[in-house]
Amino acid sequence: MPISVILGLQWGDEAKGKVVDLLSQEFDIIVRYQGGANAGHTIYYNNQKIPLHLIPSGIFHPDKTCIIGNGVVVDPYALKDEIEKLKELGINVKERLYISSRAHLILPYHKKRDEERDRTRKIGTTKKGIGPAYQDKSARWGIRAGDIFYPDYLRERLKNNIDNYQELFKEYTEILNFIKPMIKDTVSILVEAEQSGKKILMEGAQGTMLDVDFGTYPYVTSSNPTIGGVFTGTGLSPKFLDKIIGVSKAYTTRVGAGPFPTELEGNMQSYLREEGNEYGATTGRARRCGWLDLTQLKYAADVNGIDGIFLTKMDVLNHLEEIKVGIGYRHNGKIISTFPDAISILNEIVVEYKTLKGWNTNINGIKTFSKLPEQTKDYIKFIQDFINIPVIGISTGPLRGDVIYAD
Ligand code: GDP
Ligand code: IMO
Ligand code: MG
């Protein structure tokens, strides 16, 4: 079974990039299946902090192939920028990155539309043109990467979309020519890879609670970061699925507007934000911070059918006497056992918490699970028992080496 998946269980920024970079060693091909440059996946390479927006986080392993699948919306300007930045670091991308010919493009008019709309809709989007590009795709109005191979068709499509298409056709052709050698039928590349026994790792962007179907709609993104997105976004069948790994922070964050049941206020929120350096990798916005929400996490685990949890940023909780975790919701005094399907309910729920003892010591540098403080083990066990899924690894710092695998 050659396909494994790493996806976010919260509202994004769970440190998926770090986990993908870490686990890429065991795979041949790393694939992004949805989202676009709204993602910001941070990797440390030679002690340098690098945010990736479109290129899969496996790119730092020189022998790996990376694929941007058909489910991704590709901003060619952002992609060129990213390729050039990596080149400056000595990482050659062009020979081992493929972009799906079926992937839809984000062009400057999508970003403009995104900015204009969010002024009134106030979702707090990343303004990267994601919503408008997916909208054009569903409306059968979109422009795909592979259209560059058919200039007359591309011109015609642009004519349908914008007024000054003549001028822009030239400009867009130029930028698309830069990525043209990498644009391929990635469906057949992936199918062939699967058939020849290559190991494939799928890298989710955003997170389950930002999923357009399963998230806190309408405060979501426009794609499916959840498990189904893997298949519609790449062309591979679920039949070949091996492991699904869900990434969660040891607490919760959210950027942008929308419900966040365990959100903290005041000093405690600032504490987590500063300890966790919770500022967006894409927009630099301060992230909203709160306690871990196990009702939410269980919902995300169920929706994706995850096999294991990777718990990140454990070190951020190092110096707390007590740590709270959300263990249930009440609405109008009644306990609700599932994650609410309506914003109006989410806005009214009261969260019930369990207070656990903090370990109040530095766990950075610990390399084996058995050497962790008892309180850290208890915290992990509590999560594991509640969700009924094993924690397979924890991250104790931003670097590749800051990791402990479960025994
Ligand atoms: P992604 O979008 O899910 O890939 O996550 P981001 O890169 O947006 O955000 C995660 C942030 O936490 C980045 O700045 C990482 O460098 C950092 N990070 C990752 N793992 C850890 C960890 O275990 N501890 C700490 N303190 N920081 C971490
Ligand atoms: P990674 O992959 C966190 C949020 C935005 C906004 C909502 C819709 O780094 O985890 P969009 O621009 O997608 O239309 O914005 O989704 N959002 C993210 N939040 N991490 C991300 O990606 C996000 N991508 C989008 O802040 O609330
Ligand atoms: Mg991010």
| Contact 397 CB / ligand 1 (< 6 Å) | yes
116 is a domain residue? no
| pLDDT at position 281 over 90 | no
| Contact 126 CB / ligand 2 (< 6 Å) | yes
| Contact 14 CB / ligand 1 (< 6 Å) | yes
Nearest to 254, CA basis, from 299, 306, 210:
210
CA dihedral 212, 217, 220, 225 (to 10 degrees): -30
| Distance between Cα 401 and ligand 3 center (Å) | 20
Please say if 41 is a catalytic residue: yes
270 is a domain residue? yes
Mutate-to-test residue for ligand 1 from 312, 391, 396, highest number of ligand atoms within 8 A of CB: 312
| Distance between Cα 12 and ligand 2 center (Å) | 7
**Cα torsion 225, 228, 233, 239: sign:** positive
CB-side neighbour CA atoms (13 Å) of 311: 28
Return the pLDDT at 219: 98
Token pair recorded at residue 319: 């110096």
Contacts of residue 69, Cβ cutoff 8 Å, sequence gap at least 6? 31, 32, 33, 34, 100, 103, 186, 190, 233, 234, 235
Q: What would the pLDDT profile of 319-333 be if each residue is shown by its tens digit?
A: 999 999 999 999 999
Domain count, the chain: 1
- The answer to whether 180 and 98 have CB atoms below 8 angstroms apart is no
| pLDDT at position 172 over 90 | yes
263 is a domain residue? yes
User: Confidence band (pLDDT; 50, 70, 90) for 120?
Assistant: very high
| Distance between Cα 202 and ligand 2 center (Å) | 18
Q: What would the pLDDT profile of 129-170 be if each residue is shown by its tens digit?
A: 999 999 999 999 999 999 999 999 999 999 989 998 998 999
| Contact 255 CB / ligand 2 (< 6 Å) | yes
| Contact 35 CB / ligand 1 (< 6 Å) | no
Nearest to 376, CA basis, from 297, 327, 325, 314:
314
Closest ligand to C-alpha of residue 126 is: 2
CA angle (188, 226, 350) in 5-degree steps:
175
Average pLDDT, the chain: 96
Return the pLDDT at 337: 82
217 is a domain residue? no
Mutate-to-test residue for ligand 2 from 10, 38, 50, 219, highest number of ligand atoms within 8 A of CB: 38
88 is a domain residue? no
Gap between the Cα atoms of 356 and 376, Å rounded: 10
- The answer to whether 310 and 404 have CB atoms below 8 angstroms apart is no
Q: What would the pLDDT profile of 76-85 be if each residue is shown by its tens digit?
A: 999 999 999 9
Closest ligand to C-alpha of residue 253 is: 2
| Distance between Cα 246 and ligand 3 center (Å) | 15
Q: 3-class DSSP state for residue 242?
A: strand
Return the pLDDT at 280: 87
- The answer to whether 289 and 273 have CB atoms below 8 angstroms apart is yes
For the question of whether the overall pTM of this predicted structure is more than 0.85, the answer is: yes
Q: Which atom of ligand 2 is nearest to the CA of 282?
A: 9
Return the pLDDT at 282: 79
231 is a domain residue? no
How far is C-alpha 137 from the chain's CA centre?
Answer: 21
CB-side neighbour CA atoms (13 Å) of 197: 0
Return the pLDDT at 283: 82
Domain of 282?
A: 249-405
Q: What would the pLDDT profile of 13-67 be if each residue is shown by its tens digit?
A: 999 999 999 999 999 999 999 999 999 999 999 989 999 999 999 999 999 999 9
Gap between the Cα atoms of 393 and 383, Å rounded: 13
pLDDT over 90 for what percent of the chain?
Answer: 95
User: Confidence band (pLDDT; 50, 70, 90) for 298?
Assistant: very high
Return the pLDDT at 159: 94
At which residue do the structure tokens 């479109």 appear? Answer: 54
Q: What would the pLDDT profile of 339-398 be if each residue is shown by its tens digit?
A: 999 999 999 999 999 999 999 999 999 999 999 999 999 999 999 999 999 999 999 999
Which region among 112-126, 276-290, 361-375 has the lowest average model confidence (pLDDT)?
276-290
Closest ligand to C-alpha of residue 283 is: 2
| Contact 133 CB / ligand 2 (< 6 Å) | no
At which residue do the structure tokens 């930045």 appear? Answer: 85
18 is a domain residue? no
Mutate-to-test residue for ligand 2 from 126, 226, 254, highest number of ligand atoms within 8 A of CB: 126
pLDDT over 70 for what percent of the chain?
Answer: 100
| Distance between Cα 398 and ligand 1 center (Å) | 6
| pLDDT at position 186 over 90 | yes
Over its C-alpha atoms, the chain yields an Rg (Å, rounded) of: 21
Token pair recorded at residue 253: 């964050």
**Angular region, 331: left φ>0, alpha ψ -120 to 50, beta rest:** beta
- The CATH number covering residue 351 comes to 3.90.170.10
Gap between the Cα atoms of 309 and 307, Å rounded: 7
336 is a domain residue? yes
| Distance between Cα 176 and ligand 1 center (Å) | 32
Measured CA distances, 190 to 28, 65, 69, 268, 380 (Å): 11, 11, 10, 46, 36
